[in-house]
Amino acid sequence: MNHQTYHDYGVSMRRHLHQHPELGRQECETQLWCVNQLKQMGYDITLCFGTGFYADLHVSDTLPRLAFRADMDALPATEKPGEVVISQNPGVAHLCGHDLHMAIALTAARMMSDQRTRLQANIRFLFQPSEEMFRGGAKGMIGEGALEGVDAVYGLHNDPQIDCGQIAVHPGIMSSNGDQFRLNIAGKSAHASSPHLGLDALSEAVRLLTAFRAVITDRIDPNKAALISTCMLNAGEAPNILARTAELQGSIRSFDPTVHKMLIGSFMEEIQESRRRGYTVELEMRGYPAINNHPAETQILTETARLFLGEENVLTDHPPMVGSEDFSFFLKEKPGAFFFLGSGDHSNGIDNPLHSNPFIVNEDCILIGAAIFSMLAGL
């Protein structure tokens, strides 16, 4: 099968998946579509963590097993026109490129199946649900055995800020430590004319928001990257009643473990201050550690990509992603590496970051990602 055939297959997979996005933990049709594709290629399927699964291609008992991750979920958004195809599911859209990731995995799986006699490893594809959710899917899949028998694991994320034909990779930190939080603040309602009789949850939410910002300016070395971003605030029921409850949601990010520890400590101090002031505060927080590439596997990946793309197209000094990724949990369990795959098309005047709407990519990156995965497996 020639490269054009694989290219066309990958594009067709991506466009189908792009038109039928599903939210995290709801990827039922996505799971069914991908499972059927892989069964036709001869992969053994194990359903895992609800809507996730992994697919195995066994070559030899004497060979190691390599795993490759593809995340499956879309975002809650109504897609604007601009892409070659558009979401057919109202209020759900692939604005982060997980449709690309699945298409890359399916194309690589087909390459490996077609040329299995040349493979230097047994293969496992991890189709992971709910990467975008408050609680990601990686830990759930690990807990259900998705990494058992795996010797190394590789993953990627498309990056439209990098041109198609390039990748970014280096050993060590590739993303931020990231925690998402939800704070529920309860005070006491009262008439707006008698605020002294109540305990205003809205005012306390604003105090916390301001205090979180002050943590960055007052307590963190300005040479160190750090963020506390409060992105949602819901409070109040009427214009003449003090808010009894308020809800804050946001995220905490940094690259340095010491800085992150200080951020979390300062964050918790402010919550304790609210409690001292008489408010009831409930905190829900889940975090992803930074993606930390293993040196040996990163070297293998880098050398493989240089052979395919040329040394000048493998960016080894690209800064880490400020966002977070639960692929980090896979790398805490097994050796491996993660890279950013250029999906941008700046020569045609297209410049959009992840989560843009519309999210426009160069589909030629599908074959590039699939080829790198396949070369890691010995093709």
Q: What mean pLDDT comes out for the span 214-237?
A: 95
Q: What mean pLDDT comes out for the span 6-21?
A: 98
Confidence of residue 134 (pLDDT cuts 50, 70, 90): low
pLDDT at 312: 98
Range 3-175+290-376 has CATH code 3.40.50.720 = no
Distance, in Å, from the CA atom of 102 to the CA atom of 23, rounded to the nearest integer, reads 15
Q: What tens digit of pLDDT does each residue of 359-374 get?
A: 999 999 999 999 999 9
Q: What is the pTM of this model?
A: 0.91
The segment(s) of the chain belonging to CATH 3.30.70.360 are 178-287
Q: What mean pLDDT comes out for the span 255-274?
A: 96
pLDDT at 349: 76
Q: Return the half-sphere exposure (C-beta side, CA atoms, 13 A cut-off) of residue 90.
A: 0
Q: Return the half-sphere exposure (C-beta side, CA atoms, 13 A cut-off) of residue 88.
A: 7
Output DSSP code: residue 289. Answer: P
Mean predicted lDDT score pLDDT of the chain: 96
Q: What tens digit of pLDDT does each residue of 153-170 get?
A: 999 999 999 999 999 999
Range name among 12-16, 317-321, 336-340 with the lowest pLDDT average: 317-321
* Phi and psi, residue 291, nearest 5°: -70, 125
| Residue 162 contacts residue 315 (beta carbons within 8 Å) | yes
Confidence of residue 1 (pLDDT cuts 50, 70, 90): low
Query: Per DSSP, what are the bridge partners of residue 184?
Result: 247, 282
pLDDT at 123: 98
Instruction: Domain 178-287: state its class.
Output: alpha beta
Query: Per DSSP, what are the bridge partners of residue 76?
Result: none
* pLDDT at 52 exceeding the cut of 70: yes
Q: Which amino acid does the sequence have at 281?
A: V
Q: Which two tokens stand for residue 172?
A: 């060590």
* pLDDT at 127 exceeding the cut of 90: yes
Provide long-range contacts, Cβ within 8 A and 24+ apart, for 88-95.
88/19, 88/20, 89/20, 89/21, 89/22, 92/21, 92/22, 92/23, 93/21, 93/357, 93/359, 94/17, 94/18, 94/21, 94/359, 95/354, 95/355, 95/356, 95/357, 95/358, 95/359
| Residue 34 contacts residue 125 (beta carbons within 8 Å) | no
Q: What tens digit of pLDDT does each residue of 344-354 get?
A: 988 877 778 99
Q: What mean pLDDT comes out for the span 68-95?
A: 96
Q: What tens digit of pLDDT does each residue of 24-48 get?
A: 999 999 999 999 999 999 999 999 9
* pLDDT at 212 exceeding the cut of 70: yes
**Given CA atoms 315, 316, 318, 324 in this order, what sign does their dihedral have?**
positive
The segment(s) of the chain belonging to CATH 3.40.630.10 are 3-175+290-376
Confidence of residue 275 (pLDDT cuts 50, 70, 90): very high
Burial of residue 286 (CB within 10 Å: 0-12, 13-18, 19+) is middle
